[in-house]
Structure formats: C-alpha cells, structure tokens
Amino acid sequence: MSLKKGDKAPEFTLKDHLGNDHSLKDYLGKKVVLYFYPKDDTPGCTDEALQFKDLYEEFKENDVVILGISKDSEKSHQKFIDKYELPFLLLSDPEIEAINNYGVWALKNKFGKEYYGILRSTFIIDEEGIIKDVFLNVKVKNHGDEVKKCILST
C-alpha cells in the first residue's frame, strides 16, 4: 500500500509510554507530523528525535502535533523519552498495525542480510486528517528542517 498526498490518513489507536491510548482522530483540527522510525535510542533515530525536539516549541506555537511511532515497547519509549527529555509522544505499535497501514513495513537489506523493518518515513497530516506530504525512506540529516519548511508553509 502506498499512501500519497490527498489520501485520508489511516486511523489508529496506539499506547504511549504511560499506557494511555492515542488515536489519530484525537488530533483533528491540528496539523500532525507523524513519523515512523526503526528503534529507540539508536544513532539515526536519536538524531531524528532530537531534531523534532529542537523544533517542538515552534511547531507547538503553530498548533502542530508531533507523534513518533515504532514497534518498541511502552517501557522502551519511556526510557528513550527520559534519556533525551523528548517533549512529544512516542507511540508503541508492537503488532505493526499502523506501521502496515501506512505502508512503512518493508524488506530491508543490511550487510547482505535481508529482514523486515520500519522504513523511516514521515507523513504531514492536515487538520481534516488528509495527508499533505509524504517523506519515504528518510535520510536523517536535515530532515527536521525539511519537515518544518513543508508544514509551516502550508
């Protein structure tokens, strides 16, 4: 499944680091930066999270919500949030339901070994729940600035 600009963003309900449910519909009326990342506290994922942390206040002032999703546990998310003082929500998708619905579960290859994992991706979702932009197979360097430019120009 390949989501694109103009598609309705697939609904989900996932738990945060405290075990509270969060659904995409909870954020109707706000812009959402929904980013999928492979694993808590790894170099690329930490760099990406810290970029979003640096932009958090500016996004918040513009009524933009940041939600990160990985298949890591709630406990893993709690440690990651605490370690880097992340001010936004990380949601746990151990059953890879949202990950599959957004089409970011993919066959990957590292050092000749094939495995399935999350394709680092970001979706910009508007106030009505429509996808306004898609970043697939994200390269971490400067990604926060790319997202900022995209979301604050719409």
Neighbours of 124 (CB within 10 A): 22
Order across the sheet with 13-15: list the strands: 21-23, 13-15, 89-92, 64-70, 31-36, 121-125, 131-135
Cα 64 from Cα 58, distance rounded (Å): 9
First to last CA, the chain: 26
Q: Which neighbouring-strand residues pair with 131?
A: 125
The catalytically annotated residue of 3, 32, 45, 81 is 45
> Is 150 noted as a catalytic residue in this protein?
no
Active site residues: 45
